[in-house]
């Protein structure tokens, strides 16, 4: 009898243990879900950072001078190319949870992104607005814009915005928007009718000569910021300020940048203008010399654009030989 009682007790004990185990197995998922839910409830929200750009007035940041408004002064910090000055209105996420989103591969779609363009070629700087998100979506809704550049060409379409776009899989390509029509007209294809910028005065003594006076001179003319930071006085005894005294303070004190309008100023004209403008007041032309790939200064001055072009081509050819030999031996 005692033995039967003990057996019954064991059965009941095992049954209770089984019931407890079964109840635990049923409750564990709910406990886990509840714990995770509480963690999420009290977890700090993921830190998100945005970049917000707002339209700003640009008309006071541009000044035209020279015959036919060929030359443009643009205040540093304003954006433009050879034909348009522009400002943007945009909101885009730049960081999420400590992850940098400014790199092209991570860059998300902007909440909004608009460009206001101001046409250099018009007296009143006629403006037009382009909604980048919209024009891209109208052409192909599976892509969104992540960057853009403005170009001017000799043939139609003369002015374009080349818009770099990306899809959700990260595939990137470039679409071309015709500024005149306001529509994307296809994918980018290389064109040979772009206006040539420059010259940049590579391989010449002009670079150091200009820096010693406080200027940076290539396809633009601006102040050499390191020069001013060192407390040096910019040399204003140059023909540029003799011919256009009204722009002297803008460049030397106001930090404006001198741009040629590529549509109206040829590389040869710019070459000649720079050599005249950078010469001391009253002198006809600045004399510059070539610098070869070894850093040696030539004895022969570069007095014409054709001579400059020939010199640059020769140095580039020498560099190609050096790079080829280096690659061969490594």
Q: What is the DSSP string of 285-319?
A: ----EEE-TTSPEEEEE--SHHHHHHHHHHHHHHH
- Counting residues of the chain whose pLDDT is more than 90, the rounded percentage is 65
Q: What SS3 class is residue 229?
A: helix
Statement: residue 207 has pLDDT above 50: yes
With left for phi above 0 and alpha for psi between -120 and 50, is residue 66 left, alpha or beta?
Answer: left
Total Cβ atoms within 10 A of residue 108 = 13
Most confident of 31-40, 65-74, 161-170: 161-170
| Segments in the chain forming alpha helices (H) | 2-42, 132-139, 206-213, 225-229, 239-243, 248-252, 267-277, 305-329
The residue ranking higher by pLDDT, 48 or 27, is 48
Domain boundaries, the chain: 48-187, 206-323
Give the mean pLDDT of 56-61: 85
- Residue 313 confidence class, pLDDT cut points 50, 70, 90: very high
Cβ count near 324 (within 10 Å)? 10
Per the prediction, the chain carries an average pLDDT of 87
Q: Does residue 137 surpass a pLDDT of 70?
A: yes
- Rounded CA-CA distance 200/247 in Å is 22
pLDDT of the residue at 12: 46
Residue 30 pLDDT: 54
* pTM for this model (two decimals): 0.77
* Residue 81 DSSP one-character state: -
Q: How confident is the model at residue 218 (pLDDT cuts 50, 70, 90)?
A: very high
Q: In the chain, what is the greatest distance between 2 CA atoms, to the nearest angstrom?
A: 132
């Amino acid at each position: 009898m005692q033995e039967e009682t003990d057996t019954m007790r064991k059965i009941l004990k095992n049954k209770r243990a089984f019931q407890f185990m079964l109840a635990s197995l049923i409750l564990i998922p709910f406990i886990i879900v509840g714990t995770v839910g509480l963690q999420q409830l009290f977890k700090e929200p993921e830190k998100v950072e945005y970049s917000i750009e707002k339209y700003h007035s640009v008309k006071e940041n541009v000044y035209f001078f020279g015959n036919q408004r060929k030359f443009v002064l643009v205040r540093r910090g304003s954006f433009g190319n050879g034909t348009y000055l522009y400002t943007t209105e945009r909101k885009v996420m730049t960081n999420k949870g400590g992850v940098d989103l400014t790199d092209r591969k991570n860059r998300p779609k902007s909440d909004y992104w608009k460009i206001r363009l101001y046409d250099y070629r018009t007296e009143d700087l006629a403006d037009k607005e382009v909604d980048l998100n919209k024009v891209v979506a109208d052409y192909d809704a599976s892509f969104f814009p992540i960057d853009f550049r403005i170009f001017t060409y000799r043939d139609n379409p003369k002015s374009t915005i080349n818009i770099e776009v990306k899809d959700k899989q990260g595939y990137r390509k470039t679409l071309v928007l015709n500024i005149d029509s306001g529509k994307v007209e296809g994918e980018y294809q290389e064109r040979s009718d772009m206006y040539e910028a420059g010259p940049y005065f590579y391989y010449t003594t002009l670079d150091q000569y200009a820096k010693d006076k406080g200027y940076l001179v290539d396809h633009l003319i601006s102040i050499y910021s390191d020069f001013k930071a060192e407390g040096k006085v910019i040399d204003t005894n140059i023909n540029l300020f003799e011919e256009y005294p009204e722009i002297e303070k803008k460049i030397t004190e106001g930090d404006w940048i001198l741009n040629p309008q590529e549509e109206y100023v040829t590389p040869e004209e710019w070459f000649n203008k720079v050599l005249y403008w950078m010469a001391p007041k009253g002198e006809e032309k600045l004399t510059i010399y070539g610098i070869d790939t070894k850093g040696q200064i030539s004895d022969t001055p570069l007095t014409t654009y054709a001579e400059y072009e020939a010199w640059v081509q020769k140095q580039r050819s020498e560099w190609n030989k050096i790079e080829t030999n280096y690659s061969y031996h490594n």
